[in-house]
């Protein structure tokens, strides 16, 4: 297992390097340079200012040296400094990451709580009305844009219960109860589509396992249907869900952008949008890199967990 973990961890290094290169080059997609963009919106300027700004952003050296310098800073944990606030990018991300982490974990919890039981129920009642309804509902859930669902939830609650989304976010360390009250609805809105994916995956996987020979053998031995499902089939059928959960983290991290925007939550997603509209390119670069590396690490952990649970992966 240790050897597999080591090899798998090393295997992400080239991709990680590629991601840093892609993020670095992304900022070069801007028409002109970042200095042109900056001074173009901020009034008159002298040649000296332009030179100083180019030097400040390291644009006065060849591009490969720029990348080398930037990568070296990133490796040391320096993602640059925000143009608009003058605060280090990593510090800004750190202060807002709690919200995004809480939102994505909450959404994952919602997805597991609704998706897995519904998938099991649907598989056990295959081709019944309940199964058909569950499948149609899951397909509908996959089709609802997260921001619209969030808007409709706010609308319904404000109409029926005179509820309004909280204006200020409360940290869980300050007041856990108030924090959970604020985060419940965004987590529900974001987690619904993932719940639908989990439902479909659990159903499909359980149906496949239930057709295996060892399940037939268990039935022949007289094991009760309940024991067959919960003891023999469930463990194997839930294994693929771990991989799906890893992939869905990407959806959740992306969906956090719009969910945080709708509920005015001060998370990293909203920070990205703020940076985009403020043309704060170092902050855009830093936040995108942070989210991508986080996504890669989650998938690495998922792969390692998968190998731990299913030894066939390690020796395959």
Which one of 288, 303, 306, 307 is in contact with another protein (CB under 8 A)?
288
Q: Which residue's CB is nearer to another protein, number 223 or number 300?
A: 300
| Angle, alpha carbons 147-152-158 (nearest 5°) | 125
Point out which span in 50-58, 75-83, 216-224, 276-284 binds another protein (CB under 8 A): 276-284
Site string for another protein, 128-147 (x = CB under 8 A): -----------xx-xxxxxx
Number of H helices, E strands in the chain: 14, 0
251 is an interface residue for another protein by CB under 8 A: yes
Q: Which residue's CB is nearer to another protein, number 52 or number 154?
A: 154
Q: Give residues 230-249 in contact with another protein (rule: CB under 8 A).
A: 249
Q: Which residue's CB is nearer to another protein, number 203 or number 232?
A: 203
Cα 140 vs. chain centroid, distance in angstroms? 21
How far apart are alpha carbons 95 and 89 in whole angstroms? 10
Taking a C-beta distance cutoff of 8 angstroms, is the pair 268, 294 a contact? no
264 is an interface residue for another protein by CB under 8 A: no
Contacts of 49 (CB under 8 A, 6+ apart): 39
DSSP tag of 263: T
Closest separation in Å from C-beta 313 to another protein: 19
Which one of 172, 240, 254, 266 is in contact with another protein (CB under 8 A)?
254
Q: Which residue's CB is nearer to another protein, number 111 or number 284?
A: 284
CA proximity to 99, closest of 20, 166, 193:
166
Q: Give residues 80-119 in contact with another protein (rule: CB under 8 A).
A: none
CA proximity to 30, closest of 290, 286, 282, 291:
282
What is the four-CA torsion angle of 140, 146, 147, 148, rounded to 10 degrees?
10
Binding site for another protein (CB under 8 A): 14-16, 18-19, 21-22, 26-27, 29-31, 126-127, 139-140, 142-148, 151-152, 154-155, 158, 200, 203-204, 207-208, 249-251, 253-255, 257-258, 261-262, 272-273, 276-277, 284, 288, 291-292, 295-296
């Amino acid at each position: 297992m240790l050897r597999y973990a080591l090899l798998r961890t090393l295997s992400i290094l080239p991709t990680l390097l590629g991601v840093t290169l892609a993020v670095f080059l992304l900022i070069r997609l801007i028409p002109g340079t970042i200095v042109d963009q900056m001074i173009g919106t901020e009034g008159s300027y002298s040649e000296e200012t332009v030179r100083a700004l180019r030097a400040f952003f390291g644009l006065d050296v060849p591009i490969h040296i720029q990348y080398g310098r930037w990568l070296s800073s990133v490796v040391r944990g320096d993602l640059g400094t925000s143009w608009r606030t003058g605060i280090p990018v990593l510090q800004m991300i750190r202060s807002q990451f709690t919200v995004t982490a809480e939102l994505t974990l909450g959404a994952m919890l919602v997805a597991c709580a609704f998706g897995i039981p519904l998938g099991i129920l649907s598989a056990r009642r295959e081709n019944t009305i309940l199964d058909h309804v569950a499948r149609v509902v899951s397909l509908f859930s996959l089709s609802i844009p997260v921001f619209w669902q969030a808007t409709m939830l706010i609308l319904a609650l404000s109409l029926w219960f005179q509820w309004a989304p909280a204006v200020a976010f409360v940290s869980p360390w300050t007041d856990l109860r108030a924090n959970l009250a604020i985060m419940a609805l965004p987590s529900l809105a974001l987690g619904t589509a993932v719940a639908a994916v989990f439902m479909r995956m659990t159903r499909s996987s359980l149906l496949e396992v239930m057709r295996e020979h060892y399940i037939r053998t268990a039935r022949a031995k007289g094991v009760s249907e309940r024991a067959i499902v919960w003891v023999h089939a469930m463990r194997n059928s839930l294994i693929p869900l771990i991989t799906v959960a890893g992939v869905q983290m990407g959806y959740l991290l992306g969906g956090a952008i719009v969910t945080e925007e709708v509920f005015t939550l001060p998370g990293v997603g909203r920070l990205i949008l703020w940076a985009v509209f403020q043309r704060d390119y170092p902050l855009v670069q830093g936040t995108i890199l942070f989210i991508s590396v986080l996504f890669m690490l989650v998938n690495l952990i998922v792969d390692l967990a998968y190998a731990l649970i299913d030894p066939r992966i390690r020796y395959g």
